[in-house]
Amino acid sequence: MDPHKDLELDQLIERTSASTLRSLDTTIDVEQRLRDLFREAGLDPELVPERRSQTR
């Protein structure tokens, strides 16, 4: 394979991996914030039915 194409592919994979990690971090942050809000409202987050997002 062409070394230039290999470099482009490696860069694309790195950018995709970084973007995926940022997205997962955001999802985890939102889920944690929702659990915190349920607790503040006096609800047990473990008893609230879980809704599956379309991205999972």
In tens, the pLDDT along 20-32 reads 999 999 999 999 9
pLDDT at 46: 84
What's the angle, vertex CA 28, arms to CA 25 and CA 34, rounded to 5? 140
Q: Taking the model in full, what pTM does it have?
A: 0.59
Q: Which residues lie below 8 Å from residue 34, measured CB to CB, with a gap of 6+?
A: 45
Q: What is the pLDDT of residue 52?
A: 62
Higher model confidence: residue 4 or residue 37?
37
SS3 letters across the chain: CCHHHHHHHHHHHHHHHHHHHHHHHHHHHHHHHHHHHHHHCCCCCCCCCCCCCCCC
